[in-house]
Amino acid sequence: MRAVLQRVSQASCTVDNQVTGQIETGFLVLLGIEEADTAEDLDWLAQKIVNMRVFSDENGLMNKALADVNGDILLISQFTLFASTKKGNRPGFTRAARPAVAIPLYEQMIEKLTHLTGKKVQTGIFGADMKIALVNDGPTTILIDTKNKE
């Protein structure tokens, strides 16, 4: 699994002119799932997301986690995070999980993050043409890949 965490002061997802998810302070999380991903990857990544200390403390240092700032999560599925760009100029997506694998893991991630934060996780719609708007605070953007745990 790959996640792009963007620290935001606001973010939203719109599908067919309807807002499906919207947050103020927190993380916009773009989540890519590949065929080889497991429940262990999901648990590890969820813990990383909720415990990532990238919010400013009273001294302006990145020392606070999501809970410390009462932050929210907007979780968006994004298979393009597994684009292969080695050959040519048209990316390939063969590593990205098919819906039969990706949808259950995406739904489990929503449940896991909801459990860990004690707050409703805002979402897009899996597989939809989504319009994402955000104000990246910092800017602060972190890439996390479960294949690089060590």
For the chain, the average pLDDT equals 95
Entry pTM: 0.94
Q: Cβ distance 125 to 20 under 8 Å? A: yes
Tokens representing 80 are 């393009």
Tokens representing 47 are 């813990």
Q: Is 80 a catalytic residue?
A: yes
Q: List the chain domain ranges.
A: 2-148
Catalytic residue chosen out of the listed positions 20, 80, 140, 141:
80
Domain 2-148: CATH superfamily is: D-tyrosyl-tRNA(Tyr) deacylase (3.50.80.10)
Q: Cβ distance 7 to 54 under 8 Å? A: yes
Q: What is the pLDDT of residues 26-42, one digit of tens each?
A: 999 999 999 999 999 99
Q: What is the pLDDT of residues 63-96, one digit of tens each?
A: 999 999 999 999 999 998 888 888 888 888 888 8
Distance CA 140, CA 12 (A): 17
